Structure 1
Amino acid sequence: MSVVILYGTETGNCELVADAIADVLAAEHDPSIYDMSEFAVEDLDPADFLIAVCSTYGEGELPTGAEPFADELDEVNPDLTGLRFALFGLGDTVYGETFNRGGEIIASMLVSRGATQVGEHARHDNSSAIKPAKLAEEWARGISGLIDPVSVS
């Protein structure tokens, strides 16, 4: 099973997080990393496991790097039944109600089209002392075991 990591970023932190996740997953999987702004919605494949890494910008909006992907999801409105995904969000608790809202928007868009979210929605807080890549590595170790679907006999 292929692992596709998509990141949507404003300042580049999500790309660093995507790289950290890929480094952990590379031991057991074959991850590919793509910028959401350059990934075609038509390339989403239920046979793959998707990891979305998304920051929050402004007052709870998607970052500029995620907008083309979200716009295309709205335009194409694909049936994503069977697609399993996990989410790593970046935000800052200073912003209260909109903390990590970008990741929540992407998750909602995927779920509303039939995709299934698995695992814990990681929420990095930029106000914490924990570096995003460090949290991503820990989270990826937990997600690794959820990537391959359990076969039912």
Structure 2
Amino acid sequence: MTDVTIISGSTLGSAEYVAEHLAGIIEQQGHTANVLHGPELEELTLTGVWLIVSSTHGAGDLPDNLQPLFEQIKEKDASLVDVKYGAIGIGSSEYDTFCGAIDTIDREMIGHRAIRIGSMIKIDITQHEIPEDPAEEWVKTWIALL
């Protein structure tokens, strides 16, 4: 059994809905899931497994509720060497900066020595009106990698 910390970053709530939905799937598979919407660094354990679900805001920016976390990681030069993570981006391919936030998050995580489990998924809301559906299929594969 693995403890998974699910971190969501959302402007309009879609990433929060996806995070909550995936928590149920992860728990059905015999793991534990703790969902944190826009946590501060001090709320997180810098070990274990994180699943980051983020929408993209503005011109490829992190949602307002995730910006403080990644600013704190940068400012403190936090070592994430003991963190393994998965990454889910939600956005619209109608924008040049499609899923830009999850790309930024992925670079920051790797730059602070975290190890990504599997490949990330970028969910296009123009193709998937309900982003929970492709996220659910992806997470089932991701869980098998734990």
Partner of 1:32: 34
Moved over 6 A (4+): none
Instruction: Return the TM-score normalized by structure 1.
Output: 0.88
Letter in 2 for 1:61: D
Letter in 2 for 1:133: E
User: What CA distance in whole angstroms lies between the structure 1 residues aligned with 2:117 and 2:143?
Assistant: 11
User: What CA distance in whole angstroms lies between the structure 1 residues aligned with 2:131 and 2:94?
Assistant: 16
Partner of 2:105: 106
1:2 aligns with 2:3: yes
Residue 130 of structure 1, CA deviation? 4.4
Is 2:41–2:73's contact at 8 Å kept on the other side of the alignment?
no
For 1:129-144, what aligned pairs fall within 5 Å after superposition? 129-144=128-143
Is 1:5–1:34's contact at 8 Å kept on the other side of the alignment?
yes
Q: Per the alignment, in what secondary structure is the counterpart of residue 46 of structure 2?
A: coil
Residue 107 of structure 1, CA deviation? 1.0
Q: Per the alignment, in what secondary structure is the counterpart of residue 64 of structure 1?
A: coil
Unaligned runs of 5+ in 2: none
Is 1:8–1:55's contact at 8 Å kept on the other side of the alignment?
yes
Instruction: Return the TM-score normalized by structure 2.
Output: 0.92
User: What CA distance in whole angstroms lies between the structure 2 residues aligned with 1:52 and 1:129?
Assistant: 19
Q: Per the alignment, in what secondary structure is the counterpart of residue 135 of structure 2?
A: helix
Percent identical: 24
Q: Per the alignment, in what secondary structure is the counterpart of residue 109 of structure 1?
A: helix
Letter in 2 for 1:17: V
User: What CA distance in whole angstroms lies between the structure 2 residues aligned with 1:25 and 1:130?
Assistant: 22
Partner of 1:63: 63
Residue 45 of structure 1, CA deviation? 2.7
Q: Per the alignment, in what secondary structure is the counterpart of residue 83 of structure 1?
A: strand
Is 1:41–1:72's contact at 8 Å kept on the other side of the alignment?
no
Residue 75 of structure 1, CA deviation? 1.3
User: What CA distance in whole angstroms lies between the structure 2 residues aligned with 1:110 and 1:42?
Assistant: 17
More helix as a share of residues: 1
User: What CA distance in whole angstroms lies between the structure 1 residues aligned with 2:43 and 2:74?
Assistant: 12
Q: Per the alignment, in what secondary structure is the counterpart of residue 82 of structure 2?
A: coil
Partner of 1:23: 24
User: What CA distance in whole angstroms lies between the structure 1 residues aligned with 2:25 and 2:43?
Assistant: 27
Is 2:56–2:102's contact at 8 Å kept on the other side of the alignment?
yes
Q: Deviations over 1:42-68 (max 9, x none)?
A: 62332x211000111111111111111
Residue 41 of structure 1, CA deviation? 4.8
Is 1:41–1:73's contact at 8 Å kept on the other side of the alignment?
no
